[in-house]
Amino acid sequence: MPISKTNAKVNKSHKDSGEIPQSMNTSGPKEKCTMRDIFDSFSTFLIAKVVSIEDFALLKELGKGEFGRVILVKKRDTGELFALKSIKKSEIIAKGQWEHTRTERMVLEKIRHPFLVRLEFCFESQEKVYFVMQYMK
């Protein structure tokens, strides 16, 4: 299920009240993570522009890590190059890294600095979570 372009509006009920949504509250005891937790954490933004893996042409693998890989992709409609990080949901859950993954998304989404890459899109499939970031040559 595709999620959204990162500069979409935040769910107003939590934004206006100033409180942290229960799904993002990390101060309590650690509980076992489920696929629903991951979906809820990645779907806190309203859909502005829906994208999916079909919107990108995979060009070549740039790197591989413990949880997934980074692939050079070209957006089919604009021809822009991006770095696509794909992470298997099963690996995130098995290694207890779902909070780190959520935090990574939030940091990449908010960062605006000329020396750091920016998160352009974030979406998911049944098996994976995808971060599409600027590609720096």
Domain ranges of the chain: 4-17+31-134
Dist CA 14 CA 19 (whole Å): 6
What's the rounded mean pLDDT across residues 36-53?
Answer: 61
User: Does 14 score more than 60 pLDDT?
Assistant: no
| Lowest mean pLDDT, pick from 40-49, 66-75, 107-116 | 40-49
What's the rounded mean pLDDT across residues 25-41?
Answer: 54
Cα–Cα separations (whole angstroms), residue 39 to 9, 35, 79, 127: 18, 6, 29, 11
Instruction: Write down the pLDDT at residue 82.
Output: 96
- CATH no., domain 4-17+31-134: 3.30.200.20
Query: What rounded mean pLDDT belongs to the chain?
Result: 76
Give the CA radius of gyration of the chain.
15
For the whole prediction, is pTM greater than 0.85? no
What's the rounded mean pLDDT across residues 34-53?
Answer: 61
User: Does 59 score more than 50 pLDDT?
Assistant: yes
